[in-house]
Amino acid sequence: MRRFYFDVRAGAEFLPDPDGLELDGLAAAEHEAMHTAVTLAHDWLPLTREIGVEVKDEQRQSQLILTVALTIDRL
């Protein structure tokens, strides 16, 4: 098991993950990042238009960044 941290960016807001989660590997961390982003998107996207979840390993080195964005094209 490895520890991963999930730092969230929503607009100008930055929410570091102080505790992290122990997961089987990067694929499990990616799945957790997707779940986190979708959960937060429900409340935050109407306000910020973009949410990012940065996954870091035990040494706080970036492993992946997941971004969910809301775009509106008025025609």
Geometric angle at alpha carbon 48, from 42 and 49, rounded to 5°: 75
| 74 within domain boundaries | no
pLDDT above 90: percentage of residues in the chain: 77
Looking at residue 58, what is its pLDDT?
96
As a whole number of Å, the CA-based R_g of the chain is 13
pLDDT digits (tens, 9 = 90+) for 16-51: 999 999 999 999 999 999 999 999 988 888 888 899
Domain total for the chain? 1
β-pairing verdict for 2-10 and 50-56: antiparallel
Structural domain containing residue 43: 2-69
Task: Average the pLDDT over 64-74 and give the result.
Answer: 93
CB-CB neighbours of 33 under 10 Å: 22
Residue partners of 73: CB distance under 8 A and separation at least 6: none
Looking at residue 46, what is its pLDDT?
83
| 27 within domain boundaries | yes
Looking at residue 52, what is its pLDDT?
96
Looking at residue 63, what is its pLDDT?
98
Asked if the model's pLDDT at residue 11 lies above 90, the reply is: no
| 23 within domain boundaries | yes
